[in-house]
Amino acid sequence: MKEKYMITSVKGFKDIYGEDLELFKTARKVLEEIAESFAYEEIITPIIEYSELFERSVGIDTDIVEKEMYTFIDKSVRSVTLRPEITASVARSYVEHHFETKPLPLRFYYFGHCFRYEKPQKGRFRGFYQFGVEAIGDDSPLLDAEVIDIGYNIAKKLELKNLSVKINSIGCRKCRTIYKEKLKEVLEPQYDELCEDCKKRFYTNPLRILDCKKESPELKDILPKMIDYLCDDCKKHFDSVLDYLQKMNIPFEIDNTLVRGLDYYTRTVFEVISSDLGAQNALLGGGRYDYLIEELGGRPTPAVGFALGMERLVEIMKSQGVVRRDKRLIYVAYQQTAFERAIFITEKLRNYGFKVFLDVKNGSFKNQTERSAKRNAEFTIFIGEEEVKTGSVVVKNMGTKEQKQVNIDDLNGFFKEQRNV
């Protein structure tokens, strides 16, 4: 017989299961609850778009569009791309469905799979999930502060430590053009020293030289700072964002080298960095993108948002012991003669909203208890002939080993009290 070889998942893509999945689900729930509490509404966009969308929004000179897109020609000979990010899709959707007729700003949140053909490493995958928020239709600096506040609330709610908010302004079309010229003027004598990528960036996107990890701190030190070149409107906007953040008690650091790797940004850009993540240390990144909707054929419409990498969030939660493994399982052990009663109680508890595992192998209470322990159950309920007669069950707390006889009618109250709910 021909031996079958094992088929693995595609390089850079991974299955999510077990503890990671539990953290993933816990995190997703918290993220969605926070977004909803800020009155953001969910939007689901397709995972595939015409390639043009990302070329025009993310920008043809960016790493994402130049090197990392999963692009192919479909059967009707159109170039389509698996989304590398979701902001462009939300902006396309805004224009396509004439959302400008609704009361602005519109506030969206989303969750979905993204694809980038990057070199896989810790915290960097080819398939990864993003959660993000986008507030579209208002240029108030309060909206910039609001989206950062959402990020801050996520960290607070999940009790994450070792995070810092970095913020910068990259100005508007007007002042950024002047700044770029100045930057090139200072960089020109250093051109030969630049890394190969930065030599190209010098002509295509000199701002990206500021955040290139290969360039030396000495070089960065002599480069002009964008915030010194902001026009009056951009400066006023940036100062107001910082002022709001201070009033909201959100700690931040100004980082003059923060420019972000996507072309659509204007004015505020920010990232939340974690010292627990290694080289890929950005948990979330975002900023204002006041020209994007216009670039996609809509009316001039300012907007701001961020996206967060779910795998990186789970990694931080794991390394900081934010383990919310669901131990709150009730295990039902029974004698075969009490099976009907066991089924009755199991169903009753499930209807009350508890997570209940009915033993399937049966056998001795000792064996069933061992299986319950292996599943990390919080409680085991024992139902034998005696319990059927008395209308009660024995409940064992698997942590403290305490046992108690509880009347069937009191089970709901008993478990709720034990869990303080």
One residue of 20, 61, 66, 118 binding ligand HAM per CB under 6 A: 118
Residue nearest to ligand HAM (CB): 309
Binding span for ligand HAM by CB under 6 A among 36-44, 125-133, 192-200, 359-367: 125-133
One residue of 128, 179, 229, 365 binding ligand HAM per CB under 6 A: 128
Q: How far is the CB of 388 from ligand HAM (least distance, A)?
A: 54
Residues 129-168 that bind ligand HAM (CB under 6 A): 130, 132, 134
Residues 6+ apart with CB under 8 A from 332: 342, 345, 346, 356, 357, 358, 359, 380, 381, 383
**Which residue, 311 or 359, has its beta carbon nearer to ligand HAM?**
311
**Which residue, 58 or 356, has its beta carbon nearer to ligand HAM?**
58
Does residue 311 belong to the site contacting ligand HAM (CB under 6 A)?
yes
Residues 338-397 that bind ligand HAM (CB under 6 A): none
Does residue 305 belong to the site contacting ligand HAM (CB under 6 A)?
yes
Q: What residue has token string 């972000």?
A: 260
Does residue 302 belong to the site contacting ligand HAM (CB under 6 A)?
no
Does residue 93 belong to the site contacting ligand HAM (CB under 6 A)?
no
Does residue 286 belong to the site contacting ligand HAM (CB under 6 A)?
yes
Q: How far is the CB of 22 from ligand HAM (least distance, A)?
A: 19
Q: How far is the CB of 321 from ligand HAM (least distance, A)?
A: 21
Residues 213-252 that bind ligand HAM (CB under 6 A): none
One residue of 85, 139, 359, 378 binding ligand HAM per CB under 6 A: 85
In SS3 terms, the chain reads as CCCCCCCCCCCCCCCCCHHHHHHHHHHHHHHHHHHHHCCCEECCCCCEEEHHHHHHHCCCCCHHHHHHCEEEECCCCCEEEECCCCHHHHHHHHHHCCHHHCCCCEEEEEEEEEECCCCCECCECCEEEEEEEEEECCCCHHHHHHHHHHHHHHHHHCCCCCEEEEEEECCCHHHHHHHHHHHHHHHHHHHHHCCHHHHHHHHHCHHHHHHCCCCCHHHHHHCCCHHHHCCHHHHHHHHHHHHHHHHCCCCCEECCCCCCCCCCCEEEEEEEEECCCCCCCEEEEEEECCCHHHHCCCCCCCEEEEEEEHHHHHHHHHHCCCCCCCCCEEEEEECHHHHHHHHHHHHHHHHCCCEEEECCCCCCHHHHHHHHHHCCCCEEEEECHHHHHHCEEEEEECCCCCEEEEEHHHHHHHHHHHCCC
Binding span for ligand HAM by CB under 6 A among 31-39, 304-312, 336-344, 402-410: 304-312
Does residue 318 belong to the site contacting ligand HAM (CB under 6 A)?
no
Binding span for ligand HAM by CB under 6 A among 159-167, 224-232, 276-284, 328-336: 276-284
Does residue 105 belong to the site contacting ligand HAM (CB under 6 A)?
no
One residue of 56, 201, 312, 396 binding ligand HAM per CB under 6 A: 312
Q: How far is the CB of 50 from ligand HAM (least distance, A)?
A: 17
User: How big is the site for ligand HAM, counted in residues (CB under 6 A)?
Assistant: 25
Give the residues lining the site for ligand HAM (CB under 6 A): 85, 87, 116, 118, 124-125, 128, 130, 132, 134, 262, 282-287, 289, 305-309, 311-312
